[in-house]
Structure 1
Amino acid sequence: MMLYRLKDSSKSFEKSVKESQKRGDIDGEALLKGKLNVYKSFLENLWDLLMEGLSPGYSYPQRTTSLLIITTVRSIFKDDKCAILDYKALWDSRNSGLLLQRLTDTFDVNKVMTFDLLKEITQECLRWEDPNELHKMYQCALRLAASSKPHHCETAAYLLRLLAQQNSPPLKRCQGKHGMVKAVLEDLSGELEMQISRGRSSLLEAAVSGPMYSILHCVRALLSDIVPREVINESGWLDLFQKILSLSLEVADVASPTVCNSSPEGYIPETSDSTGEKCYTLQGVDV
């Protein structure tokens, strides 16, 4: 409510300043500009506090509070040109870097708000205008996607989705509106194939160095950003969908000894039907 009042009052003051200029009322103009400067100073100090709240060392709830207020500031000041606050200009390279770090938070709500804010920040502010830097970030995301730590694959999923939306994608083979998404999915599918092969040899080794679920999580996140009917007729997409489905079934088969049960204690052997064939529960398919 306070931010809305500040915005409305500033617009009223701006209008009054123009009227004072027309009348030649120098004192009135100076008084009104002074009030606008007070508003501007307050918002600048508030923004500095919010950015400080995103810095390393602050607790996750504190970061959540900062992100919530930043999101509110964006919703109020993003579209309108206002004398007291230029929202887009606030995102310099330092502030953008602080925000990007919040994708590593283990609080999912922080990741969601961070991703929504990052989508509107330019490549220049993120220092991603250099193709080499963008490629390094992409390689970092792929490493996180292959990690055995669950929060790493969450970070990778948001980062890959963000990279797929950039104007200068890091993969040269990209073509079409969703070309970057397709290229990333192809790379993830290749990594998943290697992890499946490792899992067939040893589930224990796979759990440590290639747990499969992390790649599947990233694949699902990327697929959520496209509408299948819009890309199904584009070159290569149908084959890619078929490959992803095939790999998903392979993952279910490889991981079924550990997930094909409803017991909280862990492993329950597969049951057999009257023909002696193994029966897999729904948990084994929905890995």
Structure 2
Amino acid sequence: MADSESTKKNSLLPYALIGGVLLIALAALFFWQSGAKAPVEQPKPLPKPEVQQPEPQPEPDIVPEPEMPAEPVERPEPTPAPEPEPAEPLDVSDGAVKTAVLETGSYEALARLIVDDDLLRRFVVFSNNLANKEVAPSHRVLQPPQQEFRVYRQAGKEWIDTASYKRYTPYVEALESMETEQLLALYEVYKPAINEIFAEVGDSSSDFDGVLEEAINHLLDTPEVPVPVEVSTDSVMYKYTDERLESLSAPQKQLLRTGPENMRLIKAKLREIRDALAQQ
């Protein structure tokens, strides 16, 4: 048994009090004969002087000797509880943060995709811009795909090649491998550091939890589009021919470029994360 447990038990013991004083007063009642037998008639002798018998004295009451008070039982001095050691400061270095993120899912897959520097700040800035329906390319948290965006021509029109969608399959698989509960637990651990960064770059009247939820909801509002999807180019970049799609925000158009199946899986994971956040 540990010293702390022994000390705790000793402290719960009542003080030992030995004997209480038991006082019983015994009253002894002594009954004496009240007279002598009547004498037989004989010649009367000369009278003798009466000898007066002394009256019996009552026996004194027996008073018990007072008991000596019991000496108090000596208790061992309680061992003071050890002072709690101060918590080590949170390691917000890039290496520590990235390692913690990698441990929530497929380590190797995530290691190839997540950026190595300034990860917490990138996450905060990227989420804040996303909530504002903007993209912050300089603050992306994932490496861009190595393969180029591809289109094909048919009937005098340009369409997004399905090979372009496959570029994002590794990202989706890595996202699906991440445990939502671990992600939320990690988010709680780093929330103080995240809030400090957000106080520098975001709206001081806003809460980052709300910003994150708003960013997720904005992506979930991206419409589902059947393939193939027609695009056009102005020699600088490709645009959606459908004006309804082209009028979407930059983050929503980027999500569309992942393809219908990838977008379905991404949305499912985002809903799971959003619902878990709402229950915290």
Same fold (TM over 0.5): no
How does the TM-score come out when normalised to structure 2? 0.31
- The structure whose residues are more often helix, as a share, is 1
Greater radius of gyration (CA): 2
- Higher normalized contact order (CA 8 Å, seq sep 6+, divided by chain length): 2
How does the TM-score come out when normalised to structure 1? 0.30
